[in-house]
Structure 1
């Protein structure tokens, strides 16, 4: 028996998996996926197997079930923090998080092969279970306090995993990473990683002169993305916003993308709001896109209608066609500030 906290007051059960990784293999191509999905204890040999729509682990599970096959999965509770980090971000499809982490740290991730599943298991893990999921076998799961800051999904039937093998260290430590109302630690690390991935994927899509990307912590690192560009051509800002909203790293459960000029610090909320309120005209600068990728965790979508949501891409840049005539910013230039500091700095420091 392993002590498992009830992380939030209204959780529907005890979640042993919050900082865990689910390990599955792609049935057609054979690459190994690590995904961080919540894992609820159902009983002594049964775990909940909730995965949001569109996630790699869920797509793999659906492929197995569609063929009438069981889905074998290993779940690690407590492992190298880099593996947990990789499991919670959008590592490109077809790239195993094991390889991604190995490249990051400059050495392969040590693994052992699971006796029941044949899956590679982190050799340094604290607790690992090997499980099997069978199509049609479900139990009520949830609710759970999620990264949006809400109990956004009600109790409902979800697939289960039957535990077949259990491995653990002496006195193992369970890694807990329960999300709460943003901003919180759960979101901060994802802000940095998802921002970098969106930037990388925007450049790969051909967007030039990106100056910054920030997935804001108040939006759980997903709901609000700010992109800074140096405008090079008409439509550059709109193009950048659309790609940021729909690239792989930015596609799931987004809400707002705000594109700003290169004089705006994307991590400075006041800077961003100033640009939004003074450089955007709602009538022409806000694009709304319907039927976008969402899921059960979206708090604004009513029960029974979850699945799609809308997005807003906001152009908060100076209008390209009259950018040179846009009112100048009412602040001292760097040259004036430097001259004032040289002349009055000693007095101001006293």
Structure 2
């Protein structure tokens, strides 16, 4: 729980930088007009503000499919790097053209952040606090806007305010965001499951949840995504036995998973094959399952059979961990 909250807060830094940027351009535009002599060019002034939104709109058209292909974390890393590059360009900006380019790059960073941070948080947060953590992007965005307005106001009190410094300060929080995305944020477990990378997803879930037993959530993710194509369900519910555990933990997981699948199998049979029509003159024959439902039922039956056989295998390495603890 605590790990998921910290990860969500760290990811939401991208939205804080969006709010920071929106407030900075509003406060520095007065000095940009004076420095570049744009008083008689309202269209160019508006373009300086709108270029960021144009960039964000352009990149959001393909950020979703691209993140499905390469992952959520690489896209967040790209967003943090684009924020840093935009801040450096705005800090330099010798001409209006360079400033427009900086604003466009900044818009790319904003577009990636506002589209992917909520998705990333929803895929890493536990169900019981998912709604709460999903409010963090809006909270951090408003916080960034407030802090930026305070900074701009303080800078305007100087004898000669420098708009390049106002906008270039974005580099500092952007570097923090780069460090967070590169060294702290894990990949989304849901995305890992969708790509069949079950072992990595299990490791990430254990880190996020702060516990070892995440097989139930792994099963739900895999079931919801239809992960692995023809991969048997036991491959993502039952993990390989660690070498130092002697296989007894593998057998324990086999018993647990077999019990879970047995309940699912009985429920599927009760809902499908053995369903009886209601009594009365308006009784109708039970609905014939579709080809997809029949295939899913066969997969469940096969998985249950395989897991049941696995759970009944004799353990070769002595007592299990629970039995050793009971003997003490």
Using the size of structure 1 for normalisation, the TM-score is 0.25
Higher relative contact order (CA 8 A, sep 6+): 2
Q: Which has the higher helix share?
A: 2
The structure richer in strand per residue is: 1
TM-score by length of 2: 0.26
Structure with larger Rg:
2
